[in-house]
Structure 1
């Protein structure tokens, strides 16, 4: 195995501030709320380098021993992240029966952010910390519970990263232990980007919501931004659930989960400017160089689609002054509505509105 391992505090730290993932700077299974205190403070417009830890390899059903777990898949100890080993060995507050699996780094206090504002989080870099990941299917989870996993045990599939035709790809064998493999592109992104919820109760890490959280939108890769309505002073932002790759839907339960080092810029957009640019935004909105990406989130997938369509109409009316009937027609003719994920209790749908269609 020949690759650069981004252990804590080492290599590739390009911003003025750096936030490692330690037992004092992460939450495991829950997301920040108003009673939490930021572990670091940034100004609007500032960049921050952040280490994230994948939950795969540290969970109880995998032995809560990442060195041993990945060792069984042929990974030497020096290729296992020290912060993952420390997290698994710690007594950090987490109830496996009631809390989620995800590890999030934060909260990050953004100076000047107030309820009514929007927080814009832009991913500037997303660097794999290891050359492998895990794709899991657990009983009672995924889109085919009762059908998969086929046996009695949960399934954690090891996926390696290799160089192929000049690019990094993920690989899976066609048969267990076989030599033939399927190769697929890597597209690193954060499954969780969010702000703290109001009140004194930390949100569960699995279902996404107006706070963002576990959105699993695979468009949120390098160069893309997520806009979130601020709920508490300072926003108390966080990131986690790092992915190397995911198809829309994430049907088995997880995608290719693996730890990333990310560089994120945090920008506060005032309430007045937010209304001008986006209208009354009540939920997450993503943006890429090519698309505006409104979202719909609901336990019912059909209703999530309806919420996404309504959000898209409102966005076109606010941003471009488009008549709502014409906006509805345009969306039908020209916009793709994609399933973000169907495995996180609250299902997600996102639209891809081409910004080029509105130039000139």
Structure 2
């Protein structure tokens, strides 16, 4: 199989390069305050990070990617990434009752970073490392628990299949292709992004990889693709940035449980902001914030979707007040008339809402 970006081969666009070999990744837990950095860089430098997908290496999929991908999609062992095979075959402990599924590369320390600073992560380039990936619905999770996964033929009523994993591919037209099962396929555009980008929380306790939080982590916001900038409040010295959970595409909601999970080589610029205005804004917001070329993005995170919505609206009002001097009542009216609030995901325990504020609407106000 062609179009594989094996570790150590192919283009590297950043000042530094991190492979995803077992010694440079965390599996199931995110780096915490005690994590040792695998790389230390200066503010404004770029790093190219190999990421691998957890799909195909988990225990309920046999922890044998060669067998899994051969059985589900006829992909030979020569079509697999070496780091994926190496991690699955390693002695690394992975207990699904204790660990999350995700593999993250890092952490990367930024010289001089201290709590209260803000780390800007600019996504410069995302290269596909393989021409295929997996979309899974498993263990009664997703937006329709109890209804999906559907029972297998002949199973007792009420019995759900523990895992349904479908392999999707990238067609010659650059579109995602998902087989229907009768010779036809669904085709859809790719929108690559990293589902996990974050900094270490200020705790020595284990940090599960699934729920997002003020540290970022498993945000699963599909707009954080090439050109996006994510702002993360630094919580420990050095920031200790990490990235993983690569996607080729995802719809808002991520309703099955996973999106099109597939490996990426990401080049990111990590810039430290120490100015009082940025530090103050980050301190007043309840979650990380982001922007694209055309939009400001605010995030609301909470186990309750209604509360996540309220938090996203509050953060939007804070951003409008701090950046543009817009009073709360006027800001709320504007948000109701012109901003969009979407469900990022409903499958990570802590649910997500992202608000999208068009920059063009605000440009004439001037930034305070």
> 1:43: which partner in 2?
42
Task: Kindly indicate whether the alpha-carbon contact (under 8 Å) linking 1:212 and 1:228 is maintained by their aligned counterparts in 2.
Answer: yes
Task: Kindly indicate whether the alpha-carbon contact (under 8 Å) linking 2:14 and 2:268 is maintained by their aligned counterparts in 1.
Answer: no
> 1:112: which partner in 2?
112
> 1:123: which partner in 2?
123
Q: TM-score, normalised by structure 2?
A: 0.94
* Alignment of 1:218 onto 2:216: no
Q: How does 1:304-343 map to 2 (within 5 A)?
A: 304-343=308-347
> 1:193: which partner in 2?
197
Distance 1:44 1:88 in 2: 34
Distance 2:233 2:286 in 1: 7
Task: Kindly indicate whether the alpha-carbon contact (under 8 Å) linking 2:51 and 2:264 is maintained by their aligned counterparts in 1.
Answer: yes
Task: Kindly indicate whether the alpha-carbon contact (under 8 Å) linking 1:229 and 1:282 is maintained by their aligned counterparts in 2.
Answer: no
> 1:71: which partner in 2?
70
Q: Deviation of residue 274 (structure 1)?
A: 0.7
Q: Deviation of residue 16 (structure 1)?
A: 2.1
Question: Using a 3 Å threshold, how does the CA distance of structure 1 residues 279 and 128 change in structure 2: closer, same or farther?
Answer: same
Give the SS at the match of 2:284: coil
> Which aligned segments of 4 or more residues in structure 1 are displaced greater than 6 angstroms?
none
Which deviations, in whole Å up to 9, do the C-alpha atoms of 1:166-186 show, x marking residues without a partner?
xx1111122x2x221110000
Which deviations, in whole Å up to 9, do the C-alpha atoms of 1:41-89 show, x marking residues without a partner?
1110000000001000100011101111112211121210000000001
Distance 1:58 1:262 in 2: 21
Aligned CA-pair RMSD: 1.2
Q: Deviation of residue 282 (structure 1)?
A: 3.6
Q: How does 1:102-251 map to 2 (within 5 A)?
A: 102-151=102-151, 152-164=161-173, 168-174=174-180, 176=181, 178-251=182-255
Distance 2:292 2:103 in 1: 25
Q: Deviation of residue 31 (structure 1)?
A: 0.6
> 1:91: which partner in 2?
91
Q: Deviation of residue 276 (structure 1)?
A: 6.4
Task: Kindly indicate whether the alpha-carbon contact (under 8 Å) linking 2:117 and 2:279 is maintained by their aligned counterparts in 1.
Answer: no
Task: Kindly indicate whether the alpha-carbon contact (under 8 Å) linking 1:278 and 1:319 is maintained by their aligned counterparts in 2.
Answer: no
Q: Which moved more, 1:246-255 or 1:193-202?
A: 193-202
Distance 2:283 2:213 in 1: 18
Give the SS at the match of 1:155: strand
Distance 1:82 1:41 in 2: 25
Q: Deviation of residue 10 (structure 1)?
A: 0.3
> 2:155: which partner in 1?
none
Q: Deviation of residue 36 (structure 1)?
A: 0.8
- Consecutive unaligned residues of structure 2, counting only runs of 5 or more, are 152-160
Which deviations, in whole Å up to 9, do the C-alpha atoms of 1:243-294 show, x marking residues without a partner?
0000000000000000100000000011514146667234110110011001
Question: Using a 3 Å threshold, how does the CA distance of structure 1 residues 53 and 181 change in structure 2: closer, same or farther?
Answer: same
Q: TM-score, normalised by structure 1?
A: 0.96
Give the SS at the match of 1:163: coil
- Consecutive unaligned residues of structure 1, counting only runs of 5 or more, are none
> 2:270: which partner in 1?
266
Give the SS at the match of 2:69: helix
Q: Which moved more, 1:134-143 or 1:86-95?
A: 86-95
